[in-house]
Amino acid sequence: MIYVGTSGFSYDDWVGPFYPQALPKRDMLRAYAERFSCVELNFTHYRMPEARTLAQMADKTAPDFRFVVKANQDMTHQRTGEPAVFEQFAAALEPLIERGQFGCVLAQFPYSFHATRESVAYLRLFREAMGELATAIEFRNARWVMPGTFKFLREQRLGFCCVDEPALQGLMPRVAEATSDVAYVRFHGRNAAKWWEHEEAWQRYDYLYSEEELAEWVGDVRRLDGEARETYVFFNNHYQAQAVKNAEMFQKLLGLDG
């Protein structure tokens, strides 16, 4: 089963390009869920999610809609390994799990998270702390791309987040690999000029893929889906709703738009 959506849904600059001008912010998710089968929640990276909030969000979507929840920064960036942090995060997911709407957790580690023994040890701790929750790992540093990494992820039942981003030295190359029963692909855009040099964070993701560029991934996504139970594809090039345009374009390429 392939789910296609965007990284986040509540952006002011989507009003006009995607959402009607008069649409209240509280109705954005409801409108979004009419067009897509899943969403990646990124606000949970910056503040710890609450069960009540996620339950209210689920109320606005169909029973077969899926939520992917980004791990809190305490878990991936500060990396204290405090059990209470993981327990609080997992408890917030209960409403989604109970309704069958939980997809997986996305754990995005920073570029500074290098491929070292210490990092591997932390990933083991992370897996143990997450219990049975389906989890995908997004590396930002290209040094992680080696056979040993994929072997380790499979042993730990951790998914590998495949990415499409600028072909810059040190960044993750395009690799289509499934290491658990959840396959995962994120499109960040290919704005090489603004990836490192930008004044605002959104400038990094200011990019609109062409149909030809997206077509490069169609065969890989279908193969990944044949190897996994569920496959999630998210577009993070969110500026001016470019993610929406590309997500809809990709659904059409996959034949999922009907």
Q: pTM of the full predicted structure?
A: 0.95
Q: Cα torsion for 135, 141, 143, 145, to the nearest 10°?
A: 40
Query: Contact, 50 vs 88, CB < 8 A?
Result: no
DSSP collapsed to 3 states, 114-144: CCCHHHHHHHHHHHHHHCCCCEEEECCCHHH
Would you give the DSSP letter of residue 71?
P
Sequence-distant (≥ 6) Cβ neighbours of residue 177 within 8 angstroms: 150, 160, 162, 224
- What's the domain range around 72? 2-254
Least confident of 137-151, 185-199, 205-219: 185-199
Residue with the two structure tokens 């396959």? 183
Query: Contact, 186 vs 161, CB < 8 A?
Result: yes
The alpha carbon of 99 is separated from its chain's Cα centroid by a whole number of angstroms, namely: 20
For residue range 94-133, what is the model confidence (pLDDT) as tens digits? 999 999 999 999 999 999 999 999 999 999 999 999 999 9
Q: Which CATH number characterizes residue 104's domain?
A: 3.20.20.410
Tell me how far apart the alpha carbons of residues 241 and 237 are, in angstroms, rounded to a whole number: 8
Q: How confident is the model at residue 47 (pLDDT cuts 50, 70, 90)?
A: very high
Query: Contact, 149 vs 161, CB < 8 A?
Result: no
For residue range 49-69, what is the model confidence (pLDDT) as tens digits? 999 999 999 999 999 999 999
Position 151 scores a pLDDT of 98
Position 200 scores a pLDDT of 82
> SS3 of 201, please?
helix
DSSP class per residue in 149-189: HHHHHHHHT-EEEEEE----TTSPP------SSEEEEEE--
Residue 257 has pLDDT above 80, yes or no: no
Categorise residue 170: left if φ over 0, alpha if ψ from -120 to 50, beta otherwise: left
For residue range 241-250, what is the model confidence (pLDDT) as tens digits? 999 999 999 9
Query: Contact, 170 vs 111, CB < 8 A?
Result: yes
Instruction: Return the closest-CA partner of residue 90 out of 40, 126, 133.
Output: 133
Q: How confident is the model at residue 255 (pLDDT cuts 50, 70, 90)?
A: very high
Residue 230 has pLDDT above 60, yes or no: yes
Residues found in the chain: 258
Mean of all residue pLDDT scores within the chain: 96
Q: How confident is the model at residue 258 (pLDDT cuts 50, 70, 90)?
A: low
Position 194 scores a pLDDT of 86
Give the pair of three-digit tokens for residue 194: 């603004």
**Cβ neighbours, 10 Å, residue 197:** 9
Total domains in the chain come to 1
Instruction: Return the closest-CA partner of residue 64 out of 91, 22, 35, 99.
Output: 99
Position 113 scores a pLDDT of 97
